[in-house]
Amino acid sequence: MKIIAARIIVTCPGRNFVTLKIETDQGVHGIGDATLNGRELSVVSYLQDHVAPCLIGRDPRCIEDIWQYLYRGAYWRRGPVTMRAIAAVDVALWDIKAKMANMPLYDLLGGRSRDGVLVYGHANGADLGETVEAVGRYIDMGYKAVRAQSGIPGIDLAYGVGRGKLYYEPADAALPTETVWDTRKYLNFAPSLFERLRETYGFGVELLHDVHHRLTPIEAGQLGKAVEPHRLFWLEDVTPAENQEAFRLVRQHTTTPLAVGEIFNTIWDCKDLIANQYIDYIRTTVVGAGGITHLRRIADFAALHQVRTGAHGATDLSPVTMGAALHFDTWVPNFGIQEYMRHAEETDAVFPHDYVFGDGRLHVGDTPGHGVDIDEALAAKYPYKPAYLPVARLEDGTMWNW
Ligand code: CS2
Ligand code: MG
């Protein structure tokens, strides 16, 4: 069996997506997501100019060997561009293998470990009242877990607050939008949101919150301690994680569960966080960290330390990543939760898929492979449109972490 073509498809049905399609001499094809929000074309070039030529003629069944060939063989290891390109190849090859085996991917991985995949939705509002109402709408839709983000008094354009009610899309402009951040205003406000949510909805729903890398470790410790009575499912990305040891300080000060990892590329980014049990949930997902092959290594390592998965699932991860992630989540023994931001209708139309939402969970179908395809004719109707994530500055102009 041989790979005869590896094509990269760029499309913007509501937002930009990069998709790799691998074709074989046996007529079976597989697809993988390679989208890197705000830096999409760098992965297109990496795949088109440097990876695709090396794939032609290879046996697509040798997933592990191809992974090692692309990782070790590049000489330059790790990084978001390299690892997303490897992920796209890896997911396309798992798709092909599962189709050849006539099995849904979760079956090939080891079989079903649960009936459905618990997901959390995104509720946000311009102020506390609107956010509380938004959480109520998610509960009414059947969600068992909801992430709550609110506008903060005195801060324009707070992280996580969308323009529409159901959708939140941060990559919103042809050049980065400038936002202003103030930690004091945020810390004075954030605990009151969760106090109000518990008063309104009780303790039967899981509540989550994303700090989006804005705090220092000691500030993160203060926030974690302040929200302890409201029993959050997790606080996410409380502080940047390049220095994994930084989480030791946070951990010493709070029992609020911590989640991190959406920007990690390999097991090396979370090795100390996991081994020292500084975190409770690892948020790395298939497209972020070299595909199913590498994510499985991270999850197995995490399991040894009672760290569970909580994969990133924002709209910049295409339905291809969502499909692959849901098969992974259906199998992985130490599953925690899956993020689920609904894609726009145009996106769903370009990527026909068989997963469905019901009862607070996402359910994969039994289509052989990962169950997601691409309608290339429709994709061609949505040309690439440059879009950047915002940046953040402090009030005096100093650059901060968005
Ligand atoms: C976020 C993302 O979903 C999340 O938890 O942190 O919305 C993130 O900002 C985007 O994926 C960036 O592309
Ligand atoms: Mg996040």
Per-residue pLDDT tens over the stretch 275-321: 999 999 999 999 999 999 999 999 999 999 999 999 999 999 999 99
Locate CATH 3.30.390.10 in the chain. 3-104
pLDDT value at residue 316: 97
Distance (angstroms) between ligand 1 centre and the Cα of 115 equals 27
Residue nearest (by alpha carbon) to ligand 1 atom 8? 314
Distance (angstroms) between ligand 2 centre and the Cα of 210 equals 6
φ, ψ (nearest 5 deg) of residue 401: -85, 125
Model pTM above 0.85: yes
Task: Provide the pLDDT confidence category of residue 166 given band limits of 50, 70 and 90.
Answer: low
The larger pLDDT score, comparing residue 167 to residue 125, is at 125
Tens-place pLDDT, residues 34-44: 999 999 999 99
Tell which atom from ligand 1 comes closest to the C-alpha of 314: 3
d(CA 101, CA 92): 14
Locate CATH 3.20.20.120 in the chain. 109-368
Catalytic, out of 143, 159, 278, 355: 159
| Cβ(262) – ligand 1 distance below 6 Å | yes
Residue nearest (by alpha carbon) to ligand 1 atom 3? 314
- Helix H, strand E, coil C: the string for the chain is CCEEEEEEEEECCCCCEEEEEEEECCCCEEEEECCCCCCHHHHHHHHHHHHHHHHCCCCCCCHHHHHHHHHHHCCCCCCHHHHHHHHHHHHHHHHHHHHHCCCEHHHHHCCCCCCCEEEEEEEEECCHHHHHHHHHHHHHCCCCEEEEEECECCECCCCCCCCCCCCCCCCCECCCCEEEECHHHHHHHHHHHHHHHHHHHCCCCEEEEECCCCCCHHHHHHHHHHCHHHCCCEEECCCCCCCCCHHHHHHHHCCCCEEECCCCCCHHHCHHHHHCCCCCEECCCCCCCCHHHHHHHHHHHHHHCCCEEEECCCCCCCHHHHHHHHHHHHHCCCEEEEECCCCCHHHHHHCCECCEEECCEEECCCCCECCECCCHHHHCCCCCCCCECCEEEECCCCEECC
d(CA 137, CA 51): 45
Flag whether pLDDT at 168 surpasses 90. no
- Residues 146/207, Cβ–Cβ less than 8 Å: yes
- In percent, the amount of the chain with pLDDT more than 70 equals 99
Residue nearest (by alpha carbon) to ligand 1 atom 12? 37
| CATH code assigned to 3-104 | 3.30.390.10
pLDDT value at residue 165: 58
Flag whether pLDDT at 164 surpasses 80. no
Examine the residue annotation and report whether 143 is marked as an active-site residue of this protein: no
Tell which atom from ligand 1 comes closest to the C-alpha of 402: 9
* Residue of 120, 122, 212 with the most ligand 1 atoms within 8 Å of its CB, for mutation: 212
Examine the residue annotation and report whether 159 is marked as an active-site residue of this protein: yes
Distance (angstroms) between ligand 2 centre and the Cα of 258 equals 12
Task: Provide the pLDDT confidence category of residue 30 given band limits of 50, 70 and 90.
Answer: very high
| Cβ(339) – ligand 1 distance below 6 Å | yes
Task: Provide the pLDDT confidence category of residue 162 given band limits of 50, 70 and 90.
Answer: confident
Task: Provide the pLDDT confidence category of residue 49 given band limits of 50, 70 and 90.
Answer: very high
Tell which atom from ligand 1 comes closest to the C-alpha of 315: 11
Task: Provide the pLDDT confidence category of residue 143 given band limits of 50, 70 and 90.
Answer: very high
| Cβ(40) – ligand 1 distance below 6 Å | no
Please name the CATH architecture into which domain 109-368 falls. Answer: Alpha-Beta Barrel (3.20)
Catalytic, out of 29, 122, 212, 312: 212
* Residue of 39, 283, 316, 317 with the most ligand 1 atoms within 8 Å of its CB, for mutation: 316
Ligand nearest to the CA of residue 122, numbered in listed order? 1
Tens-place pLDDT, residues 103-131: 999 999 999 999 999 999 999 999 999 99
Ligand nearest to the CA of residue 312, numbered in listed order? 1
Tell which atom from ligand 1 comes closest to the C-alpha of 168: 7
What is the number of alpha carbons within 13 Å of residue 3 lying toward its C-beta? 27
Task: Share the mean pLDDT of the chain.
Answer: 97
Tens-place pLDDT, residues 59-109: 999 999 999 999 999 999 999 999 999 999 999 999 999 999 999 999 999
